Amino acid sequence: MSFLSKLVTLFGLVLLTHAGYSAHEHTVLFNNTRLALPHDIIVETLVAVVIVSIGLVLGADKLKPISWRDWAGQIERDGGARNPYLGLEERYGFWDIRAQVEPVLAMALRLCSRVSGIVVEHALTISQAKRKEFGDWMRGQDLPAKQ
Amino acid sequence: MAPTKQELSLLINPLVPEAVQHNNRVLSSLHSLTAFLLGLSAGILALQSATGFAFYFLGTVLVSGLFHLALIQRSSGAGAGAFFPGSNGGEIEGSVAIGKDGVVRMDLVESSKKRGGFVLRKGAWRDVWFGGGVLSEALSGFVLGWTGVGGVLR
C-alpha cells in the first residue's frame, strides 16, 4: 500500500467517523429516529465511501499476469531471480571424478609412502640389529667349539 | 471427440495457478473490506431493508468499476483478460485451432496485439464485476457492518 493510498483511506475513514458521530448526536438530540438525517451528514457519508473506496482500490496489491508466457517473460525481464525452476536450469554437469580426486589421491599416496618408508626403515634397522645380535650369539656359541 | 477451444487455449497458453489464486485473493480481500465499509455507511444512513441492499449493490458496482479502471490503467490497457481466467475457464480471445498438419495455431485478436501483447481471456470482466465473493462473504460482511452500526447509533 503506497503512502498516497494510505493517506486517502485515512482521510475517508476520518470523514466516515465524523459522519457516524454526527448521526449519533443527531439521534440523541432529537430522540426521534423517524426524523430524516440532515443532508450534510448524508453527503459526508457518501463522499467518505467514495474516498475510502478509491484509497482501498489504489492500495490493493499488484495483480500478476496469469498467462504462462506473460508471467515467464516478466520473470526473465526481472533477471530470473524469482524463477521457480532456477535450480533446474542452472545446475552442475557431470563431474569428472578423476580430475576432482586425482590431486588429493596423489597427495595421500605420497603421504602414505613417506610414512610407510619411515616405518619400513625403522623395521629394517630393528631387524638388522636383531640379526646382528643373533649372529653374534650364534658366533659366540660357535667360537668355543672352534677353539 | 475434437478438443474444444478452451482445451486448445489451455494447451498452447497455460495458466499460472499461483497467479490466478493471487489475483482472486486480491479481489476478494478488496471486496470484503469495501463491503464492510459500505455496511458501516448504510448503518450511518439508517437505510432499511431493500434500500440497504440496493445501496450495497450500487457501492459494489462503484468499487468494481474503480478496480477495473485501475487495472486497465496499470496494465497499459490490457484489461481484465490478462489477469483473470474468465467464465470459460481460460479460453483466449481470438482464434485457436488445429491446422491440417496437426499443429495447434492461435491468432490473437488485433486489439490484444495492440495492448502490450498480453494474451486475453474471454469473459474475464465477469470475474472482476461478479467475482471475489460479492454475493457471499462480502455480502455477509456488509450485513454485519450495517446491523452493527445501526444498532449502536439508534
Number of structural domains found in chain A = 2
Residue recorded with cell 448504510? B42
Q: Which of A43, A62, A81 is the last residue of a domain?
A: A62
A135-147 mean pLDDT: 71
Q: pTM score, two decimals?
A: 0.74
Domain assignment present for residue A88? The answer is: no
- Statement: residue A145 has pLDDT above 60: no
Question: If you measure CA to CA, which chain B residue comes closest to A40?
Answer: B45
Measured between CA atoms, how close is A33 to chain B, in angstroms? 7
- Statement: residue B8 has pLDDT above 80: yes
Answer yes or no: do A106 and A54 share one domain.
no
Instruction: State pLDDT tens for residues B48-104.
Output: 899 999 999 999 999 999 999 998 888 777 788 889 998 888 888 888 888 888 888
A45/B46 touch (CB, cutoff 8 Å), yes or no: no
Domain ranges within chain B, ordered by starting residue? 5-153
Of the candidates A111, A96, A14, A63, the residue with the CA atom closest to the CA atom of residue B29? A63
Q: Which of A13, A37, A62 is the last residue of a domain?
A: A62
Domain span including residue A14: 1-62
Residue recorded with cell 491440417? B100
Residue from B15, B28, B40, B91 whose CB has the most chain A CBs within 10 Å, to mutate: B40
Answer yes or no: do A55 and A5 share one domain.
yes
Q: Is A82 exposed, middle or buried (0-12, 13-18, 19+ CB in 10 A)?
A: exposed
| Region of poorest pLDDT, from A17-26, A97-106, B51-60, B104-113 | B104-113
Instruction: Give residue A84's region: left, alpha or beta (phi > 0; psi -120 to 50).
Output: alpha
- Statement: residue A146 has pLDDT above 60: no
ipTM above 0.90, yes or no: no
